[in-house]
Amino acid sequence: MLAEQRRNHILDILAEKGAVTVNQLHHRLKVSQETIRRDITKLAAENRLRKTHGGALALAQVEPEFADRMAVNIDGKRAIGALAAGLVPDGASVIIDSGTTTLCLAEALMAHQGLTVFTNDMNVAGKLAGRNDNRVHMLGGELIGNEGATAGRDTTTMLQNYLTDFSFIGASALDAVTLLTDYSREIAELRAQMMVQGRTAVLLADSSKFGKRAPVRVNHLDQLTHLISDAKMSSGLLTAVRKLNVEVIIAKPVR
């Protein structure tokens, strides 16, 4: 099989499956793993797939850019952020995840006093550091693309050192069958750990994430205590969420 044919075959497999590992392609295409990795690197450079640790994602399975997400349902995200901020007393310790809705939370927390904040998001840190006697700790690790956020084993390991009053977790995709999923294994693992570290664990999920599914399941949903959204869920999704024994709160956007 010629190299171009093999790479097109990889893209065909991705179009069918959404995600694939190097090992799976190695067995299916009967070429070395080194050859597969070179093919994935070349296709990623041509923006025909997304390279991941140990495999690849179809572009349709990749989360949109931060600026694009910020423009989606911004009123709903701000309403969620304001309601979530109302749960937090001055002097509390909080974990704040990366993302557009959690950035709206950070903006809503800017008047709070004496917070201790742990975050993997530089935008969130910038909103809260150096004001009102806050202490802000950036979680170290690899910076992700244009997200301005860290993730990976180092980030998750550092987070394990801290127990907080609250953790606020973002959502990439939420559906009735798989519940919370993400586009990256590293982010999925970090979000799962955030749920464990906070005494009160709050999922912030705006309605644009409903009915969507990403390739990686997020674990530890049994640690969630609250879910805040800006709109009612479908009956199927609401039934699945309530099985987690979480309090569902709807924030009404101001038009």
Instruction: Kindly indicate the confidence band of residue 103, based on its pLDDT and cuts at 50, 70 and 90.
Output: very high
**What is the architecture, at CATH level 2, of domain 3-61?**
Orthogonal Bundle (1.10)
**pLDDT tens digits along 45-102:** 888 888 877 888 876 655 555 555 545 678 899 999 999 999 999 999 999 999 999 9
pTM (2 decimals)? 0.76
Does the domain spanning 67-250 belong to CATH 3.40.50.1360? Answer: yes
SS (H, E, C) the chain: CCHHHHHHHHHHHHHHHCEEEHHHHHHHHCCCHHHHHHHHHHHHHCCCCEEECCEEECHHHCCCCHHHHHCCCHHHHHHHHHHHHCCCCCCCEEEECCCHHHHHHHHHCCCCCCCEEEECEHHHHHHHCCCCCCEEEECCCEECCCCCEEECHHHHHHHCCCCEEEEEEECCEEECCCEEEECCHHHHHHHHHHHHHEEEEEEECCHHHECCCCCEECCCHHHCCEEEECCCCCHHHHHHHHCCCCEEEECCCCC
**pLDDT tens digits along 171-193:** 999 999 999 999 888 999 999 99
**Domain residue limits, the chain:** 3-61, 67-250
